[in-house]
Amino acid sequence: MPMAQRSFAPLPRRSICNPNNVGPSMSYMGDALVGKVGEFIQLRRDIHRHPELAFEEHRTSELVAAKLEAWGYSVHRGLGGTGVVGVLKRGVGKRSLGIRADMDALPIQETTGLDWTSSKPGLMHACGHDGHTAMLLAAAKAIADTPSFDGTLNLIFQPAEEGGGGAVRMMDDGLFEQHPCDAVFAMHNMPGTPAGHFVFRDGAAMASSDYITIRIHGTGGHGAMPHRAADPLVAAASIVMALQTIVSRNVDPLDTAVVTVGALHAGNANNVIPAVATMELSVRALDPDVRLLLEQRIKALVNAQAESFGVRAEIDWRKGYCVLVNHTKETEFARQVALNLVGSDRVTLHGPAITGSEDFAFMLEKIPGSYLLIGNGDGDSAGACMVHNPSYDFNDDNIAVGAAYWAALVREFFAS
């Protein structure tokens, strides 16, 4: 989940460090997982110790493939580079289901000090993809041990969720042509929500995310004689302020939009007017029409502002992830699975949208499905530390309940 990094004070270490002591979620384990959850907590911590960046998940990918093979899955390597699909076919049923986990880590220096801290300087699993992979592997084992469905199950382990578009690369390599799915589901952990608590949302759930570089080309000169230069710095300063009016004056107040100027660079000395000023923007929306409006207004405003200052704007617009839209029928199905598993006290039926983004959105453009959240911990617990923070760690209490959820979803999908 590529998100803005928030500052967050380091939190106390989790008191439960014994992998065999996994707390209240034990009661949600399917029979097939009883006594085995410690193995998957160790596996999660092993993946955590060995983080790999986007499209470099060679060790993780091989570990996933070897486990799936050992459990009787038909394994397909190499989709999207390091992507892996494990296929389990049972009976004669024609229905097919896809479940996706992500495997990549982030370029962050870990500061948790945990026993399973990253062994690689400057790299860590700060978004919990180690946990997502371990949860789906635990489910894969439980499902393989109790094959009680009729159809085809596709477990999709994707590379490069953190901005690299690994989902798209797998789809470009024929993911859904080779492994057709009637529905797809994915789960992400969410700090600030109690561990093991499930959150669902119909419709738009996560934002589109576009990246824009704007270069303002002027004419450099002496700081003492500005009338003989065309100052791109003053134009850029004006543009930064003018951009703030797009969300407040052009977007419907009931819609969601973000226009953030995250970088502004110009000049090196007090008496030199620079020739170029550069800006970096992050632009997000929860509706494709709003996304288009933002693009149109930003381009028009920047060009008109630049012209008014006698400078020229060069706009490099890079489209990132699209709006993630959950499908109603599949979301209702996923919600019912959680209600049956953990009860209504641990389910949020319709949670808030998030301005983070997620490339599972591209899978949902092609295949009906739903993206759900599982709480990572709240209050003063260690699991409340936000993702993309150097103190973050996936909550191992979720492995049993998350795996039990996937196993239940598989069982109920093929029974429905």
- Annotated catalytic sites, by residue? 104, 161
Question: Token match 């034990």: residue?
Answer: 26
Stretch that binds Zn ion, among 41-49, 123-131, 178-186, 305-313 (CB under 5 A): 123-131
**Residue-wise over 178-204: b if at least 16 C-beta within 10 A, else e?**
ebebbbbbbbbbbbebbbbbbbbbbeb
108 binding Zn ion? (CB under 5 A): no
Q: Could you tell me the smallest distance in angstroms from the CB atom of residue 191 to Zn ion?
A: 11
* Residues binding Zn ion: number (CB under 5 A): 2
Residue 328 dihedral angles phi and psi, to the nearest 5°: -60, -50
325 binding Zn ion? (CB under 5 A): no
374 binding Zn ion? (CB under 5 A): no
Q: Could you tell me the smallest distance in angstroms from the CB atom of residue 351 to Zn ion?
A: 16
Beta carbon nearer to Zn ion, 72 or 122 = 122
190 binding Zn ion? (CB under 5 A): no
Q: Could you tell me the smallest distance in angstroms from the CB atom of residue 297 to Zn ion?
A: 28
Q: Could you tell me the smallest distance in angstroms from the CB atom of residue 313 to Zn ion?
A: 31
Q: Could you tell me the smallest distance in angstroms from the CB atom of residue 287 to Zn ion?
A: 22
Say how far apart CA 152 and CA 174 lie, in whole Å.
17
Beta carbon nearer to Zn ion, 127 or 144 = 127
206 binding Zn ion? (CB under 5 A): no
Say how far apart CA 154 and CA 142 lie, in whole Å.
15
| From 63, 105, 127, 266, residue interacting with Zn ion (rule: CB under 5 A) | 127
Say how far apart CA 240 and CA 124 lie, in whole Å.
34
Q: At residue 353, what is the residue type?
A: A
H helix intervals, 22-82: 37-49, 58-70
64 binding Zn ion? (CB under 5 A): no
Stretch that binds Zn ion, among 1-9, 113-121, 134-142, 299-307 (CB under 5 A): 1-9
User: 382 near 12, Cβ under 8 Å?
Assistant: yes
Q: What angle do CA 347, 345, 197 make, to 5 degrees?
A: 45
Beta carbon nearer to Zn ion, 97 or 127 = 127
What Å distances lie between residue 83 and 16, 255, 348, CA to CA? 33, 36, 31
123 binding Zn ion? (CB under 5 A): no
Q: Could you tell me the smallest distance in angstroms from the CB atom of residue 58 to Zn ion?
A: 20
385 binding Zn ion? (CB under 5 A): no
Beta carbon nearer to Zn ion, 32 or 127 = 127
Say how far apart CA 296 and CA 299 lie, in whole Å.
5
Beta carbon nearer to Zn ion, 127 or 230 = 127
User: 195 near 383, Cβ under 8 Å?
Assistant: yes
**Strand-pair partners of 204:** 325
Binding site for Zn ion (CB under 5 A): 1, 127
